[in-house]
Chain A
Amino acid sequence: MADLLTHVLAAYVLATICSWCIEGVTPAVRTVAMIGAVVPDLNRMDLVVPPATIESVLGVPFSWSAFHTLGGVAFAVVVGAALVAPRYRRRVAALLALGAGAHLVLDSFLFTSSGYSESFLWPLTDHRFATDGFYKSYDRWPLVVAAVVTGIVRLVDRRRSQSPTAPRAARE
């Protein structure tokens, strides 16, 4: 995985661009996309609660890495949507999916030692795509690019929200 901040910035950029076209994507709702970008990285829960501990307690196989797949993200999106007020449910579900989807797409371009991406589409399919990989998880340049793009998008967004024709939600 690339570092979390890069994923969060990518989700922020996408959600901000969405807010230009779709009414109701307020700054608070944009935060949801950023939260969505964290969901696949919840597989790092294995550092807090090792799967081996859960396996020994419950007696069943266990792996947190399901969070880094389409199936895990889909379940997390439904949980997120059920936790908010009814009128925000669709927006929250869409933006959680946007942030998490962007995370998985970005991670599919990672350099891996095997030359294959992770099986992101599990449990639909176990297929792992052959990839040369554009960056390693600890490269600095993806964050620099993400920060520059975020700066530009934020600037454009500020100009749009200050214009008198901007919708009220964008100016909030």
Chain B
Amino acid sequence: MRWPPFVRVAVLVVVCSGLFGLFVLDGARWGPVHTSAVEPVWGAADPTDLTWGPIAVSVIEQGPLRGDPSGPAPSDEWYVWSVSVLGGCWIALRAVLGWRFDSRSLAFEPRDRPRGVLEALRDLFKRGRSARTRRGRER
């Protein structure tokens, strides 16, 4: 279905407002998690004393926390972040090479033919050079 531009903008505003409302609702659900100084407690004698940030309510039902209380080592965190950044770069590259923004319809569209990395860099270089030339002529 082809929507006129103002309908699309209205839909986007409504949906983004709904998403914001969900963030607020979620914030209210977590309650004092962002303001409370309560930290997880491991191996406490009384399970009712156990809290784990936002899931404190259920801890009472399930008993003590389990697993290694020391949590991930710095190398583990480094691993997770580095492979996650790699994943993010991969997607960004695929999105840039496979999709384009059509300024007439104000929408993203797949390219007719996906660009290669070298081709994308060459286009970027050409565009930069033509912009510099244009600026030089204007002066």
Asked if B113 is at the interface of the complex by the 8 Å CB criterion, the answer is yes
B77 touches A138 (CB 8 A): yes
A65 to chain B, nearest CB (A): 6
Which residue of the partner chain A has the closest CB to B90?
A: A8
A82 touches B11 (CB 8 A): yes
Q: Tell which of A38, A72, A75, A115 touches B91, judged by Cβ atoms closer than 8 Å.
A: A38
**Which residues from A are CB-within-8-Å of B24?**
60-62
A117 to chain B, nearest CB (A): 10
In the complex, which range does the number of interface residues on chain B fall in?
A: 35 or more
Asked if A152 is at the interface of the complex by the 8 Å CB criterion, the answer is no
CA distance A41 to B81 in the complex (A): 12
Partner-contacting stretch, out of B14-22, B117-125, B129-137: B14-22
A72 touches B19 (CB 8 A): yes
Asked if B38 is at the interface of the complex by the 8 Å CB criterion, the answer is no
Please report which residues of chain B, range 1-53, place their CB below 8 angstroms from some CB of chain A when the two chains form the complex: 1-3, 8, 11-12, 15-16, 18-19, 22-31, 33-35, 40, 52
**Which residues from A are CB-within-8-Å of B1?**
86, 89
Interface residues of B (CB under 8 A from A): 1-3, 8, 11-12, 15-16, 18-19, 22-31, 33-35, 40, 52, 54-55, 58-59, 62, 65-67, 72, 76-77, 79-80, 83-84, 86-88, 90-91, 94-95, 98-99, 102, 105, 107-111, 113-114
